Structure 1
């Protein structure tokens, strides 16, 4: 897997910040409508309140650990909340708390550490790569490995891989998701036809990601009305075709 230059990391950080928050610092501490967890930082890392079922993973505590490892001093309340869970139980509760100095300081810290957060996202994707191949069903391992290498060795491909992992996860629980069908990076690589490095690999990746997320919506509980998110998901996926990264 190629190493990223500092310039590529900057571009990926900016692109993910735009994808998740529209580049708006006020959305670095956020709670999306219809979700049961807070969305934190440039990657909108998931953060569940204590005791709540973590249906979509809980990535913010791990990211905070990465910041600490890299020398960021977290306030005492945040160090404690990292282990206990998000201190707000609803969007309304968080919106009220955003007027406090505590949450304003958190938002400022998340803005100042954007590059470290991007480095965490890249590291998370890099750690997952060997697992993507070893976790894939035996019959699709060669295809997954070939497609992963094709994307990783195409200019801009790292952005597509890293952003999708941050966006919809690795997909390593192959029976997870809805009706036993997951929608992470592994499932996208399986969905693709075998490709070689180059522009077509990016188109193939985006097409496969679209099909995987359309399947997710079909499998989802009707009460969640996930179809409302498809247009936005599609817009994000289309940035993988000509990433400019």
Structure 2
């Protein structure tokens, strides 16, 4: 059975960008309530589609809670800085981009880790995000920097600055992508478990994932440690 990883949050333009505190907009209270209701309804529908009727996971995150998860990951993984959104660790053969350290391999390089940055870009494309030229090529072309040394030399280049700004402006969509990956991981875990253990695993997964703190813990673990399958 195939499980879609797409989650359709209904964040508007006012909700995109860096995960910083923002002043109240000029919208009326009615508009805000309607927006929250649209978010929760669309999230519930997307979860039902993403996981299927057999493994319907009752994650009900508000837009605010989802953004807090993204902000916390950004702080923990990138020190909450724009510069931290682009890195290439010593001893690795790939760039790590965004709050989730999404992997982008240069030409001719592969490794034990799944390449995730092109998938993130594809996800953003389906969500209607306007991509910069460098990012738009990620689905078709390898990382433009062939080594860590070349990547480090380009730190002050205009191309790198634009990449960082794009990643800072789309932290909300990166969070959405991470949550989608979490949701799609449950069927994989259940498939690897003994049939007698599956009901309990599903119950415990749902119990933890239904709270903002638990969802954050699962997103963080699945993204940085793997699904364990």
- TM-score, normalisation: structure 2: 0.69
Deviation larger for 66-75 or 31-40: 66-75
Aligned counterpart, 1:53: 110
Whether the aligned pair in 2 keeps the contact of 1:81 and 1:87 (CA below 8 Å) is no
For residue 139 of structure 2, the aligned residue among 73, 77, 82 is 82
Measured after TM superposition, the shift of residue 155 of structure 1 is 5.3
1:98-155 deviations in Å (ceiling 9; x for gaps): 2211111111011011111111111111122222212324454344223312322455
Q: 2:127 aligns with which of 70, 73, 77?
A: 70
Conservation of the 8 A alpha-carbon contact between 2:134 and 2:163:
no
Alpha carbons 1:125, 1:165 under 8 Å: kept: yes
Distance 2:142 2:194 in 1: 34
SS at match of 1:156: helix
2: CA distance, partners of 1:55 / 1:155 = 31
The 8 Å contact of residues 77 and 99 in structure 2, kept in 1 or not, is answered as: yes
| Highest RCO, 1 vs 2 (Cα 8 Å, sep ≥ 6) | 2
2:107–2:142 Cα contact (<8 Å) kept: yes
Which structure: greater helix fraction?
1
Say if 2:159 is the partner of 1:102. Answer: yes
Provide, for residues 65-89 of structure 1, a one-character-per-residue CA deviation record: whole Å limited to 9, x for no partner: 1112222222334322432221112
How far residue 52 of structure 1 moved from its aligned partner, in angstroms, is: 1.3
The 5 Å alignment of 1:212-223 reads none
Unaligned segments of structure 2, at least 5 residues:
1-57
CA RMSD of the aligned region, Å? 1.8
SS at 2:223 equivalent: helix
DSSP 3-state at the match of 2:145? coil
Q: Residue 46 of structure 1 aligns to a residue in which SS?
A: strand
SS in 2 for 1:39: strand
Contact 2:74 2:99 in 1 (8 A): yes
How many pairs align?
Answer: 172
The equivalent of 1:222 in structure 2 is none
Measured in 2, the distance between the counterparts of 1:78 and 1:117 equals: 14
- Gap runs ≥5 in structure 1: 173-245
